[in-house]
Structure 1
């Protein structure tokens, strides 16, 4: 499956919407690593006809400042944008390959940050190989960025800058679509490999000075329209959801061990339980804040999931009423609600051990 599976974090949290993002950034910069729910244009600059791209209408139809495709798999902003807003920025930092093409990488890295996220990527290099920037390569790109920053600012200033910056990570769902474990032993081996590789990537970033990690866990991948399409009733795929739930649990326990203070002193993280938060909505669609939580707003055929979102596709008129914009990705409204869930305190809090808000404000 091309692109990335939706990460719907808190569709039932509409009552929490309304808190204004900070007017002044609480961190010096934000660095983003992950897949298409976070990609803001990197894939548009990758060669190859099979690279998943969001570079034509109707993507970006609601993007502020004039409807245009920006490389985001959304009708407007994506969740990286809304996380950035809550931290006090205007929107997500620009894509690494965009900044490189404009010779503006270092100014952005020193003032706003950089996004390395790439649609179709996963924790494993083999996931959709050759069609994206895998997580390991994204980490390498950050290392290169850091080296260039040090040439301009010096090691001491850059070290402080990185230590106080916010690192947003969201990946793992695409890996599930690329594997078909045949036994429980295969499932266990898959989880172990994904947790190990993910932990290694975070550890590499830690060794380069990163200390604040906001991590978005895998959601119920069996409930996206493209998967529902395979069921005659349009129901979620329970098998895929069990696989995703198991990975979410493995991340929760595995990362807690790998990122423990005894191993990585001063590291702080917030892990979002996106599976539990969004599964409740799919189990009880009547309670959903969206009028449509099973079909694509932009597409064609049954559930809007049989065709791609493109210029000649069918486009819904009320995009805020749809949880999904295309057959795998959330709408701008769903991304907004999801990001709010990461920062809200109280009974609706889905993050542990602290919220994204608390993580950003930590010193």
Structure 2
């Protein structure tokens, strides 16, 4: 009887008005589903077996999170998924999928706030960091399983309506680019040819993923492109002066251009498909060019780590930890701080027009 009452309440809530946001009488989307990599992972990797799986389940991760505990986020506190969710009216990112398995909270969470399938080290290609993460294809498989449980609980009509109004936040591709860049020892011409083949492979798989989600009922997509990954502390280590790795940044440029073109094409072929593409590359470039304007005093070093640029070692309980974490762009040698995530989400939601196309995240959330 208790479960029947819960299901009834869920159905009623889905058939009534969406939960309002405080400002302007706007309403938040009914749920948010997250797919991607470590910039969005809120703890799925904590549940994966294997010594080679990257996890943020130890101090100093989470030092600025409520309670000061590590949660699986590769951040000193909240991450990009959290702040995108907050701008849209949620308390934080939806919970990690693997934390809900085997419990009675999976369906209620999926129906009322969403689920996160994001996994650190994940790529578009199954071969990227294979065995160490949940690749994008598996994340979609997990979403399909969630959707089936939702349909069993409240029916296909209610689920179709819910998904058509919900946000699908996706940020992936960086790890594919990094794996590719580390394997390069060819001539410039050969590398250019290989990069073109990589883009074609990535975009083909990415497009197929989006169309698969669309076929399941997804309509509103928020995408995050690749930021200037050649400027992470880890990448700067390769340069004696600590400068950005231009070749890796160029890889990101090529991928981002192909992604933009692919999404524009899908919008003309998929009825009801609405999207916003966030330009993390452009925003990060502006931050690196004018850090003080954004409140940062350090754009090169990690806040937590060891060695040169605090990037020669991982963030561990015995690592060096910076004092003023809000002054740093990067938390560890490859991930951004909580404050960087906050500023990014704000820019993508309702910031300067150059950081999103063709609409911003706010317009996406409240589109009909």
Distance 1:235 1:341 in 2: 26
Task: Return the offset for 1:287.
Answer: 4.6
Cα distance 1:20–1:82, how it changes in 2: closer, same or farther (>3 A)?
Answer: farther
Compute the RMSD of aligned alpha carbons: 1.7
5+ long unaligned stretches in structure 2: 1-20, 185-189
Distance 2:323 2:353 in 1: 30
Aligned pair 1:60/2:46, yes or no? no
Cα distance 1:132–1:21, how it changes in 2: closer, same or farther (>3 A)?
Answer: farther
1:282-323, Cα deviation, whole Å (9 max, x unpaired):
245565531111110000111010111010001111111111
SS for the counterpart of 2:346 is helix
Residue of structure 1 in register with 2:123 after alignment: 122
Aligned pair 1:245/2:253, yes or no? yes
TM-score of the superposition, structure 2-length normalised?
0.89
Instruction: Find 2:226's aligned residue among 218, 226, 233.
Output: 218
1:99-120, Cα deviation, whole Å (9 max, x unpaired):
1153311110000100000000
Residue of structure 2 in register with 1:98 after alignment: 99
SS for the counterpart of 1:178 is helix
Task: Return the offset for 1:276.
Answer: 1.6
Residue of structure 2 in register with 1:35 after alignment: 37
Q: Which has the higher contact order (CA 8 A, sep 6+)?
A: 1
Distance 1:242 1:21 in 2: 40
Distance 2:277 2:24 in 1: 21
Moved >4 Å (runs of 4+): 19-25, 284-288
Distance 1:255 1:296 in 2: 33
Distance 1:285 1:82 in 2: 21
1:247-299, Cα deviation, whole Å (9 max, x unpaired):
11111112211x123x2100000001111221133245565531111110000
Distance 1:114 1:68 in 2: 21
Distance 1:275 1:169 in 2: 15
Residue of structure 1 in register with 2:359 after alignment: 354
Superposed counterparts of 1:125-274, under 5 Å: 125-180=126-181, 182-257=190-265, 259-261=266-268, 263-274=269-280
Aligned pair 1:76/2:77, yes or no? yes
Cα distance 1:21–1:102, how it changes in 2: closer, same or farther (>3 A)?
Answer: farther
> Does the Cα contact within 8 Å between 1:163 and 1:211 map onto a contact in 2?
yes
SS for the counterpart of 1:260 is helix
> Does the Cα contact within 8 Å between 1:59 and 1:68 map onto a contact in 2?
yes
Distance 1:136 1:120 in 2: 14
Residue of structure 1 in register with 2:282 after alignment: 276
Task: Return the offset for 1:178.
Answer: 1.0
Whose helix fraction is larger, Structure 1's or Structure 2's? 2
Superposed counterparts of 1:310-329, under 5 Å: 310-329=316-335
Distance 2:157 2:321 in 1: 51
> Does the Cα contact within 8 Å between 1:122 and 1:175 map onto a contact in 2?
yes
Highest Rg: 1 or 2? 2
5+ long unaligned stretches in structure 1: 1-18
Distance 1:264 1:114 in 2: 24
Distance 1:209 1:123 in 2: 21
